[in-house]
Structure formats: structure tokens, C-alpha cells
Amino acid sequence: MKKRPLLLPRKQKILAELGENIKLARLRRKLNIQQVAERANIGRNTIISIEKGASTVSMGAYMQVLSVLALEKDLLLVAKDDVLGRKLQDAGLTTKKRAPKRKGNK
């Protein structure tokens, strides 16, 4: 039996919102579930799960659907502006000591 990811309700809500956004994008393009499934080469049930924000669906399946909807580049925005990470990185930076001056002329 496969181990399913355990998500806290807040994280599951984020996935549900992603699924809803994908569904709305599909509807704006006037595509039905079957059309997206065929173009993404995945099953109808997987599309339905994605639109519900299922955590058991692979990232690759999400990517296939985003690609069909011409939204795959949206994934490049994830962690692009990592404000917290940059602050942590800056806090951990140390200044290097300057090399000692050479004595004598050469």
C-alpha cells in the first residue's frame, strides 16, 4: 500500500484553491474534462482529483494539466521571490577577514 502524504488542513486548503484555479482556467478556455484528459494523456478521474486539489495526484499530472491550459510557466513563480529565504541567507552571511598586507617590496 502506498503511503499518502499527510497534510494539515491549512495546506490542504491551499491545494484545494489551486485545484479550483485550475478548474476555472479550464472553464474559461471552454474545455471539458474529457478534452483536458485526452490532451494531458491522463484519466478523467485524475483531472477531477486535480480540480479538487488532491494531494495524492503526482506533480507530473498537475504539470500536464497546466501545460494543456498553457499555464505551465506559472510553476516557475513558485519560490521565485523567496523573501524569508533571502533574509535567512543574509543573516547567515559573514564578512571575510582581509588578507594580511605583505611586508617588503617586490
Give domain 9-92's CATH number out of 2.20.25.90, 1.10.150.20, 1.10.10.10, 1.10.260.40. 1.10.260.40
- Kindly give, in sequence order, each residue whose CB lies less than 8 Å from that of residue 7, ignoring residues fewer than 6 positions away: 15, 55
- Kindly give, in sequence order, each residue whose CB lies less than 8 Å from that of residue 63, ignoring residues fewer than 6 positions away: 72, 75
What values do phi and psi take at 50, rounded to 5?
A: -60, -45
What values do phi and psi take at 39, rounded to 5?
A: -70, -30
User: Per-residue pLDDT tens for 58-84?
Assistant: 999 999 999 999 999 999 998 888 888
Bigger pLDDT: 19 vs 91: 19
The total number of residues written for the chain in this structure: 106
- Which is nearest to 62 in space by CA: 31, 92, 18? 18
pTM for the model: 0.77
* Domain layout of the chain by residue ranges: 9-92
